[in-house]
Amino acid sequence: MKTIASIDTATQFCMVIGDPVAHSLSPAIHNAGYTAENLNFVYLACRVTDVQPAIAGMRALSNFRGMSVTIPHKIEVMKHVDEISATDRAIGSINTVINENGRLIGLGTDGPGALKAITDADVATSDKTVLMLGAGGAARAIAFTLARDAGLRKLIILDINETLRNQLTEDLLSGTDVPVLADTLSEATLSTAMKSADIIIHCTPVGMHPETGQSLVPPALFRPEQVVFDIVYTPLETRLIADARAKGLKTISGVEMFINQAVLQFERFTNTTAPIAVMRDIVLEHLSS
């Protein structure tokens, strides 16, 4: 990592914004990459409750190169950038902002990162039913990516937030060809959905700080041959992942999606090929300690 003595007027900085953000490993993974590639960059984490002034600050600071955006700002941040691709605008959430000389470019790496984690785990998605728990920004990105590129049979979405759930459902039905079913997340709807789900993707904050040790899915609902993907990456083994493994199910840790999306961000921020092995090692080191 760069030392104070090595930071100068040419140093470019990036940061992750969110609320909460104290748990984030983004500074560790990006700074390790900068060090490995000898780049004059530094990466920080900032708790942000109001996106608009944070984005205004980015626009005003010429050395502020890149921003990673996490819960709960992935949808709101879209209102404050200058350019978003048609695909990311249809998805309706972004997790990355790049400062190109005061012009702010928004994009998403969550969806591609999640799909790569699934394919790397040798999980077949063609003609499968996916149950998605949560309908926020990350869920939107993953849902659109899978609906467009994974050959799903059906997508089931459960969330307690009616507005987010209904908006995601409408957007998926109008923008993709995959059948979508959506309902309020409750014990009854979860039990019903689990009976047909082949792949369960958890996209809520449950299981991460301060709700570590908690899970939305009772172990009794698991069926043989199901795959469980929890996008929460800290702790390394969430309660959901531990329960699924105890039932003998294939699991995908959120750390895989986290590494994949961080690699894509790193390369866009720096215009340099990411040192993937270094970035993976630093994440696993932090999560195992």
Whole-number pLDDT of residue 121: 97
Q: What is the pTM of this model?
A: 0.87
Cα–Cα nearest to 257, from 92, 84, 129, 70: 70
Cα 6 to chain centroid distance, Å, stands at: 32
Residue numbers of the chain with a pLDDT score lower than 50: none
Is residue 255 within 8 A of residue 229, CB to CB? The reply is no
**Following DSSP, what letter does each residue of 80-136 receive, concatenated?**
G-SEE-HHHHHHT--SEEEEETTEEEEE--HHHHHHHHHHHTT---TT-EEEEE--S
pLDDT at 2 (0 to 100): 66
> What was the pLDDT predicted at 1?
59
Closest CA to 20 of 202, 282, 210, 164: 210
Contact 10, 219 (CB under 8 A): no
| Interval 27-55: pLDDT, tens | 999 999 999 999 999 999 999 999 999 99
Pairing of strands 96-100, 103-107: antiparallel
Q: Which residues are catalytic?
A: 74
**pLDDT, tens only, 258-284:** 999 999 999 999 999 999 999 999 999
